[in-house]
Structures are given as structure tokens and as C-alpha cells.
């Protein structure tokens, strides 16, 4: 049986209201807030999930990694 490396990518997003003199300053404030960990994004902020697609890659036959999951998982 072949082995594949499959990318699972989640995007977290939120919107905040910032008072600023202009858009650049608003973005700087938002970045500072984020960098200071005043906003922490978690599962409740999930906005998108991508699985596989163009990032799925067949591994070489001599790859010795043990699979995390096998077709038996589909029978759960």
C-alpha cells in the first residue's frame, strides 16, 4: 500500500474595532495588540479548513515513517 503526506491547514480569524488616525495606524495597533498576546485566537475563531488537494504528496517506497492512519480508520 502507498503512503501519502497530506496537509491539513486551519485558518483562524477575528475582527477587532480600532480607533486610529488612518488605516496604517489601525493596522499597527492591531499588530501590536496581537503581538502582545492581548488577543489569542482559538478554536472558536476557526474560519476555514483545507485538507489535501495540491499539497498531498506520495512518499517514496523506501520511506520508513509509520503511518498515523490507515484505511481501517474509515470503518469507525
Calculate what percentage of the chain has a pLDDT beyond 70: 100
pTM of the model: 0.70
Phi/psi zone of residue 37: left (φ > 0), alpha (ψ -120 to 50 degrees), beta? left
The string of pLDDT tens digits covering residues 10-25 is 999 999 999 999 999 9
* The three grid cell numbers given for residue 12, joined into one nine-digit string: 483562524
Residue 66's pLDDT is: 95
Q: For the chain, give the mean pLDDT.
A: 96
Task: Give the separation between CA 42 and CA 21, rounded to whole angstroms.
Answer: 30
Sorting pLDDT into bands at 50, 70 and 90, what band is 76? confident
Mapped onto helix, strand or coil, the DSSP state of residue 9 is strand
The string of pLDDT tens digits covering residues 50-66 is 999 888 999 999 999 99
Amino acid at each position: 500500500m502507498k503512503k501519502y503526506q497530506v496537509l491539513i491547514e486551519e485558518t483562524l480569524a477575528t475582527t477587532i474595532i480600532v480607533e486610529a488616525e488612518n488605516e496604517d495606524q489601525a493596522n499597527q495597533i492591531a499588530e501590536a495588540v496581537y503581538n502582545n498576546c492581548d488577543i489569542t485566537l482559538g478554536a472558536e475563531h476557526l474560519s476555514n479548513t483545507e485538507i489535501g488537494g495540491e499539497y498531498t504528496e506520495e512518499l517514496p517506497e523506501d520511506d520508513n515513517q509509520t503511518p498515523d492512519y490507515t484505511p481501517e480508520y474509515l470503518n469507525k
